[in-house]
Amino acid sequence: MRRRFVKGVVAATAAVVLTVSGTARPAQASWASWAAVAVSVAQSLRSGGGDLERAKREIIAAVENAKQDILNHIDTIAAADVQACTEAAVTKIAQIDSMPGSLLGPFVNGAVDCAALSKSYLNAVQSLPAADTIGKLMGVIYAIAMVGFAKYGLSTTALLDGLISGYQAVVTKLAPTCNDQTIREYDSRGRVVTVEIQHTCVAYNGDQAWDSELYYRGKLQGPPLDRAQINMDATRNTSRWIAQQALPTLQTIRAGA
C-alpha cells in the first residue's frame, strides 16, 4: 500500500511535467518544468528544419514565468563563477533578439561556457545538495545555450550531448542507498513456509521508497520486485528523478540527429 501511494504521486507529477508531445509548461514555477522546457527546446531545434522561433518563445516564457524561483536556486550555488554566469544567462535571454552583434556574441559564448561549467561543477562538487541544485538548473542553462547557438546558425548537437551526459551524471551522483531485508517464517518442524524480501531505497534528502516480494513454499506470490523503479521513486523530490524522466526523450532526439 505504501509504495502504491508513492508511485501514484510520482505518476501524477510525471503527467504534469512532461507531456507526450514534449510541449513546455512554463506556467509552472518549479524546477521540474525547466527540464521539460529543455526537452521541448531540443525537440524544436532538432525537428525537421528546426524551429528557432518556437524554441525562443518557450525558453523566454519559461524563464520569465519562473525567474524568481530560478534566481533563488542560483543564490544557493557555492561556486561564484557558476552562479554569476547562470544569473547572466537567465537575466539576458529575453533580450536575445534586440542585442546588437557586439553583445550577442559574448552572450552566446557566455551561455555555452556556462553550460559546460555547470556540468564540471556537478562532477567536482562533493555536497549532494549542491549537486542537486545544479541538476535542477541544468535544463534551463543548456536550453539557453542551445537557443543562442541556433540563433547564430550553429549546430546544437554538442550541447545536446552535454545535456545528456550532464543528466546522466546527475543520475549517478544522486543515486539512493538501497538494501534488501529477508524475513522468513517457519512451520512447527522448522521448515521455511514464507520468505518476504523487502527492498528499500533512501535518497540523500531522506525520502524513501520500498516494496517487497513474497514466496510461499518456494513459489513467488504476485509480481517480482522492480528494484529499478524503487530506486527511481526514492529520488522523486530531487533533480535525479526529473533527469531520469527527461533522458529517454533527449536520447531519442539525439538518435534522430
Q: Is the Cα dihedral 187, 190, 191, 192 positive or negative?
A: positive
The torsion of the CA quartet 82, 84, 87, 90, rounded to 10 degrees, works out to -70
Query: Does the pLDDT of residue 23 top 80, yes or no?
Result: no
Identity at 225, one-letter amino acid code: L
Work out the mean pLDDT of the chain and round it to a whole number.
Answer: 85
Query: pLDDT, tens digit, for every residue of 95-141?
Result: 999 999 889 999 999 999 999 999 999 999 999 999 999 998 999 99
- Please give the residue that has the higher pLDDT: either 73 or 41: 41
Per-position DSSP letters for 28-51, written without gaps between them: --SHHHHHHHHHHHHHHHHSTT--
Query: Does the pLDDT of residue 17 top 80, yes or no?
Result: no
227: pLDDT confidence band, cut at 50, 70 and 90? very high
Look at residue 194 in the predicted model and tell me its pLDDT: 96
Minimum mean pLDDT range among 2-16, 151-165, 178-192: 2-16
- In angstroms, the CA 30 to CA 46 distance is 25
DSSP bridge partners of 181:
198
| Per-residue exposure over 5-42, b if at least 16 CB sit within 10 Å of its own CB, e if not | ebbeebeebeeebbeeebebbbebeebbbbbbbbbbbb
78: pLDDT confidence band, cut at 50, 70 and 90? confident
Residue partners of 95: CB distance under 8 A and separation at least 6: none
Average of pLDDT values for 18-40?
A: 53
Average of pLDDT values for 12-41?
A: 51
70: pLDDT confidence band, cut at 50, 70 and 90? confident
Look at residue 6 in the predicted model and tell me its pLDDT: 43
32: pLDDT confidence band, cut at 50, 70 and 90? low
Query: Does the pLDDT of residue 59 top 80, yes or no?
Result: yes
